[in-house]
Amino acid sequence: MRYIAALLMVLALVTPPVFAGGPQVVVEALLPNTAVMQVNGARITLRAGQSRAGVSLISANSRQAIVEINGKRQTLKLHQRISASYSAPELRQVEVPRDAAMQYRTTAAINGRAVQVLVDTGANVVAMNAGHAAALGIDYRAGQEAQLETAGSLIKAWSVSLQSVDVGGIRVDNVRASITEGDFPSTILLGMTYLQHVQMQEKNGVLLLSREW
C-alpha cells in the first residue's frame, strides 16, 4: 500500500500538456475513488471530484470510472479508450447455453487461437494445463513458478500474462493465467481474471456475458 500511495503521489505531480480539441483518454489503473489515466499521451492521477486536462473524475471503483468530458458523463472500464470522436459504447453480448452436464462451455480465442473453455466463476484465474499452453504457443516456464494444492497433492504451476482472451468479440487484454503440469485441468477454465471484466446473467439455462465496448 505504501508503494501504491507513493506511486500515486508521483503520478499526481505530472502536469499534462494542453491539446486543442477533445482529449484522448485511456484508463490504466483503477482504485476506490481514484483513477490513473493517460490523457493525450500524458499519465495523470485523478481522485473523485478532481479535474485536469479537460477530464473530471466523478467516481471510480475497481471495475470502472465515471468521468465527465466536455460536459458529458461517460463510464470507462479498465484499458478502455475514448477520444474526441467518442460515440456511445456498443453493448456486446454473448449467449452461452448450459450443456447436459449442467456446465457452460464455449469457444474463446486465447492469444488469437480458438480453444474450448469452461466458464468457472470458482476459479480465481484463467487456468489450463501444460498441454493447452504448448498448443497455444505459450512459453509458460518463463512465468512465475508456484505450487498448487489439488486433492491433497502439490503440483507445479506457473503464473503468466495472456496477451488477450476473446469470447464472441468481448476481448480482455493482459489476462493473468495459471499453467499447471500434467493434465489438470482437462478443459481450460475461464476464470475470474477474465470474468471480472464482464457482466454475467443466467436465465433459463443460458448464461449471458455482456460488456460495453
Render pLDDT for 66-99 as a digit per residue (tens, 0 to 9). 888 877 888 888 887 776 555 556 788 999 999 9
Give, as one character, the DSSP assignment of residue 142: G
At 195 the pLDDT is 97
Average pLDDT over residues 34-60: 87
**How much of the chain exceeds pLDDT 90, in percent?**
48
Phi, psi of 109 (to 5 degrees): -105, 115
**How much of the chain exceeds pLDDT 70, in percent?**
85
C-alpha cell at 10: 508521483
Alpha-carbon distance of 85 to 146, in angstroms, equals 45
At 10 the pLDDT is 35
C-alpha cell at 191: 476464470
C-alpha cell at 11: 503520478
pLDDT class for 180, splitting at 50, 70, 90?
Answer: very high
Residue 208, SS3 per DSSP? strand
Residue 121, SS3 per DSSP? coil
> Which residues in the chain are classed under CATH 2.40.70.10?
92-212
pLDDT class for 51, splitting at 50, 70, 90?
Answer: confident
The domain made up of 92-212 has a fold known as Cathepsin D, subunit A; domain 1 (2.40.70)
| Residue 132 exposure: Cα atoms within 13 Å on the Cβ side | 26
**What pTM was computed for the model?**
0.59
At 19 the pLDDT is 36
At 52 the pLDDT is 86
> Which residues in the chain are classed under CATH 2.30.30?
2-82
Q: Which amino acid is at 33?
A: N
Residue 195, SS3 per DSSP? helix
Report how far Cα 159 is from the mean position of its chain's Cα atoms.
16
Class of domain 2-82: mainly beta
Per-residue exposure over 72-107, b if at least 16 CB sit within 10 Å of its own CB, e if not: eebebbbebebeeebeeeeebebebeeeeeeebbbe
- Summarize pLDDT for 113-159 with one digit per residue, the tens: 999 999 999 999 999 999 999 999 999 999 999 888 776 778 899 99
At 22 the pLDDT is 62
